[in-house]
Chains A and B, each alone.
Chain A
Amino acid sequence: MDRRRFVTISAASLSGALLAACNANPEKASKLLALAEHGNESIERGLFRHTAMDSVPSAAALAGKDFPKYFISDRVPVWDPAVRGVWRLEVSGAVRTPLSLTLEQLAALPRVAQKVDHFCVEGWNARAEWTGVRVSELARLAGATADAHYVDFAGFDNDYHESWDMESAMHPQTLVAYGMDGRMLGPGHGAPARVHSPIKLGYKNTKYLTRMVFMPSRNGGYWSDQGYEWYGGT
């Protein structure tokens, strides 16, 4: 077999293998895809910088009432103090001083207001002005330890949660937000408080937040466990 013939046959078998991989052997294809996702995550984490920020022109229109509302429960989750007691945000795990903050205590912490994009995995983006506390500020207050490599954000919308890499959680635009467009957060958008950051896709931004757990290893998430990328970074 000469070189030309060899190359032609190799090219044909490569194409064939690629197509066969997705049709006849989805098991093998999904292994290759998982490998690619793993590689992409390393590249994305390598490119990640706290100085790379989302910026929205100050004159840009906000989505306002058209900002899509979304939750996984059958009905919009509402925190009922008569049933569940006073809402609190628990900050725990790999920290020196676990925190348990009421909404008033949270609102008394250094406040950030930012007009940013919200990038949905479906492809749309929407603008809003979010008010809240930086996750990095909460990590500092709780004294996150050196083995805090991941953070899990969990809420009371059924068992919704998503875990994040520490670098993304510590990005200055990653907030625990309790205000939206100058008002207190509404029940359709995750009241009383939610995670919001332009640096992760929408599904990573846990709404109806109740727990922030710093962890040495990741523990997946609601959509990540169903096959969407765990990293979900923008």
Chain B
Amino acid sequence: MADLVRRNHWVVRVTHWVNVVAIIVMAGSGMRIFNAHPAFARPGERFPLNPWEGHAIPKWLTFGAWLGGARHWHFAMMWILVLNGLAYLVFLFLHGEWRDVVPRKGDARDAIEMLRFYLFLRRDHPIQGKHNALQKSAYFAMPVLGVIIVLSGLAIWKPVTLGFITVLFVNYKWARVVHFVAMVLLIVLALIHVFMVFAVDPYALRSIITGWYNRANSPEARNARPFYHLVAPRRSSAESETDA
């Protein structure tokens, strides 16, 4: 039985996929730029907070081939990233969909319940709306990290002309640290997101491509944990399961 709903507006779908390309190019070229001097310490100083100080990132993870090339890609793609991000945020605000991701009271409790379910400490999938509480926190954290990345990026791109942004991060050196750490966090969240799509809700792929989502296949309907109940049950068996 299909219970089809229009889940993702075309603005969300377009900005999502443009974001995929932009973030891959930005992270890859950023890491190539970082590799020109893979350390945070100023000459003559030490930076014990980074255990890999002085070690370059594997070349296959980088993009842009050489420092100058990576800089050109980075400073071109940044506009696509920023304009795309603004389009998404403006849409979210105007369309009221910010309510789907902005944390509210009770989200912490709901997130704990989701974790308990994933850890087999609870049998039934917690009741949820469009997103579960863990998803919500991730989808809220990602744009927040995006804003931090853009601001710290401006701070190291123009540390004199836009020095008033640089001082928000103390100075150029620390802005560079923030820019890098926020990038790593964003990539980690994105990788978890992709993992969970395939391990828990592959049916969501349709909703980020065509917009349509079959609620009969939702993780809640399937009582799905990562790699559990991936195949949607027939309606009758689903009913017997909820009865049990």
Chain A residues packing against B (C-beta within 8 Å): 3-5, 7-8, 10-12, 14-15, 18-19, 22, 32-33, 36-37, 39-40, 44, 47-49, 52-55, 61, 63-68, 117, 119-127, 198-199, 226-229, 233-234
Contact = CB atoms under 8 A, between A and B. Distances in A.
B215 interface: no
A67 B33 CA distance: 21
Contacts, number: 120
Interface in B10-44: 10, 13-14, 17-18, 20-21, 25, 33-34, 36-37, 39, 42-44
Interface of B: 10, 13-14, 17-18, 20-21, 25, 33-34, 36-37, 39, 42-45, 66-69, 71-73, 75-76, 79, 158-163, 172-173, 176, 209-211
B42 A126 contact: yes
A164 B119 CA distance: 61
A36 to B, nearest CB: 3
B71 A67 contact: no
A49 B17 CA distance: 37
A122 B75 CA distance: 15
Contacts of A124: 37, 39, 42-43
A121 B68 CA distance: 9
Contact of A36 (B44, B76, B172): B76
A124 B172 CA distance: 9
Contacts of B79: 36, 39
Contact of A122 (B21, B67, B163, B210): B67
